[in-house]
């Protein structure tokens, strides 16, 4: 166990190092002057470029530059934004990250129970009608790009059905745009979170439910299930007490994977719905050529993902003593 944890933490730090080196050096190894690129390319004046070179310490050696950049990142000094006047990268990123986390939370609350239920049902009825129907449903949804499902939800569900008399009389209404104030409270934001969260759910649904289905089918074939059934234990008890308990253990890993998927999948969904999250901030930063902001967002995202993966692996190892990860 200790051995596994040590190896896992080592890998975490190594991965973090490689990712940060990648993000750092992307700006440095590419041909061209990084200071000029950051200052905005052709339109930049020589003074601006000199100022940025000074500020970033570009006159130092590469390893020294990397070290000071990494230290600044860990201290939370992520520089000033060029794209959004008067703001500091850190404040901007924290505000948008909170919004993205809210969206991710609603998406997980919708998708995890739903897809677990679907997966368990499909697994218990392997190759029978419910299983086939669920597979068809989830497969046809999963292969669609997020922006196609998102636009479908906006144009068909929010605009067309939402305006029908039936929907109006039921008081059922989804806003077609999620472009809310970036600093709105959770309660204010909630109405506009449902639809993007549902779009994310549709994408995750197939993945989680397929894994759950496979887990249930595998557990059902084990000897202990047959033994329990032959001992005369009610089938219902066998399923609830034994099969599901074992089959649902991998779900922890799945949720962690979903978190890292959510971090990138939400980029497209936030953009489609105009939601002020980290993903739409990234797109805006790239469009407005604010490369320091892009770097900071990339680092924050990678940090979140690596922590999610690490905690999932550790939690899984703690909960399942059989896991022998050498």
Partner 1 sequence: MRALTVNRAYAAFRRTAAAQLRHPQSALGTVLVAFFLILALFGRQLAPHPNPNDQSHDARVAPTLDLGALQLGEHPFGTDRLGRDVYSRVILGAGSIFRIAGLGTLISVMLGSALGLFMGYQGGWVDEVIGRVIDALLAIPALLLALVLIGIIRNLDFAAGSWQAALADNVILLVISVLYIPVVARVARSTTLDIKTREFVEAAEIRGESQFYIIFREILPSVIPSLVVEASLRFSYAIFLVASLGFLGFGARPPSPDWGLMVNENRGGFYQLTPWALEFPALAIAVLVIAVNLMSDGIRRAVQKGA
Binding site for partner 1 (CB under 8 A): 11, 14-15, 17-19, 22-23, 26-27, 30-32, 37, 41-42, 139-140, 143-148, 151-152, 155, 260-261, 263-265, 267-268, 271-272, 282-283, 285-287, 289, 291, 294-295, 298, 301-302, 305-306, 309
Q: How far is the CB of 301 from partner 1 (least distance, A)?
A: 6
Q: The tokens 């809210």 sit on which residue?
A: 102
By beta-carbon proximity to partner 1, the closer residue of 146 and 219 is: 146
Answer yes or no: are the C-beta atoms of 93 and 297 closer than 8 Å: yes
Q: How far is the CB of 241 from partner 1 (least distance, A)?
A: 35
Q: In the Cβ-directed half-sphere of 137, how many Cα atoms lie within 13 Å?
A: 16
Q: How far is the CB of 286 from partner 1 (least distance, A)?
A: 4
Token digits of residue 148: 């196609």
Answer yes or no: are the C-beta atoms of 263 and 305 closer than 8 Å: yes
Answer yes or no: are the C-beta atoms of 241 and 230 closer than 8 Å: no
Task: Say what angle helices 129-142 and 89-124 make with each other, to 10 degrees.
Answer: 160
* Among candidate residues 168, 274, 270, 255, the one with its CA nearest the CA of residue 207: 255
Q: How far is the CB of 245 from partner 1 (least distance, A)?
A: 30
Token digits of residue 181: 């104030």
Instruction: Work out the number of other CB atoms within 10 angstroms of the CB of residue 236.
Output: 8
By beta-carbon proximity to partner 1, the closer residue of 131 and 146 is: 146
By beta-carbon proximity to partner 1, the closer residue of 124 and 286 is: 286
Number of residues that make up the chain: 326
Q: How far is the CB of 28 from partner 1 (least distance, A)?
A: 10
By beta-carbon proximity to partner 1, the closer residue of 31 and 171 is: 31
By beta-carbon proximity to partner 1, the closer residue of 100 and 246 is: 100
By beta-carbon proximity to partner 1, the closer residue of 193 and 266 is: 266
Q: How far is the CB of 223 from partner 1 (least distance, A)?
A: 26
Q: How far is the CB of 143 from partner 1 (least distance, A)?
A: 5
Q: How far is the CB of 268 from partner 1 (least distance, A)?
A: 6
By beta-carbon proximity to partner 1, the closer residue of 132 and 229 is: 132
Task: Report which DSSP code applies to 179.
Answer: -
Q: Kindly tell me the number of DSSP H helices and DSSP E strands found in the chain.
A: 15, 0
Whole-angstrom distance, CA of residue 214 vs CA of residue 135 = 12
Q: CA 269, 191, 110 angle in degrees (round to 5)?
A: 60
**Judging by beta carbons within 10 Å of its beta carbon (0-12, 13-18, 19+), is residue 253 exposed, middle or buried?**
middle
By beta-carbon proximity to partner 1, the closer residue of 162 and 233 is: 162
């Amino acid at each position: 166990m200790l051995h596994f944890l040590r190896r896992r933490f080592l890998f975490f730090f190594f991965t973090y190092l490689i990712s940060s080196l990648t993000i750092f050096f992307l700006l440095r190894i590419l041909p061209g002057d990084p200071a000029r690129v950051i200052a905005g390319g052709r339109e930049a004046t020589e003074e601006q470029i000199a100022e940025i070179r000074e500020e970033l310490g570009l006159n130092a050696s590469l390893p020294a530059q990397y070290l000071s950049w990494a230290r600044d990142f860990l201290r939370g000094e992520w520089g000033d934004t060029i794209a959004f006047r008067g703001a500091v990268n850190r404040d901007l990123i924290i505000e948008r990250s909170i919004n993205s986390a809210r969206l991710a939370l609603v998406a997980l609350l919708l998708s995890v129970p739903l897809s677990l239920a679907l997966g368990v049902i499909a697994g218990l009825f392997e190759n029978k009608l419910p299983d086939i129907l669920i597979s068809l449903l989830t497969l046809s949804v999963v292969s669609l790009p997020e922006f196609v499902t998102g636009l479908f939800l906006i144009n068909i569900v929010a605009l067309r059905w939402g305006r029908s008399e039936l929907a109006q009389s039921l008081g059922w209404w989804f806003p077609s745009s999620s472009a809310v104030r970036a600093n709105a409270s959770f309660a204010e934001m909630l109405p506009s979170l449902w639809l993007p969260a549902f779009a994310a759910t549709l994408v995750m649904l197939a993945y989680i439910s397929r894994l759950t289905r496979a887990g249930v089918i595998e557990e059902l074939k084990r000897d202990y299930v047959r033994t329990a059934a032959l001992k005369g234990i009610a089938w219902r008890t066998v399923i609830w007490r034994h099969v599901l308990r074992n089959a649902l253990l991998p779900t922890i890993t799945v949720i962690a994977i979903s978190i890292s998927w959510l971090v990138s999948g939400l980029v497209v969904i936030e953009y489609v719905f105009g939601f002020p999250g980290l993903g739409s901030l990234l797109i805006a930063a790239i469009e407005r050529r604010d490369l320091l902001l892009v770097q900071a967002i990339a680092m924050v995202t990678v940090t979140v993902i690596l922590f999610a993966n690490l905690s999932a692996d550790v939690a899984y190892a703690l909960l399942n003593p059989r896991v022998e990860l050498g």
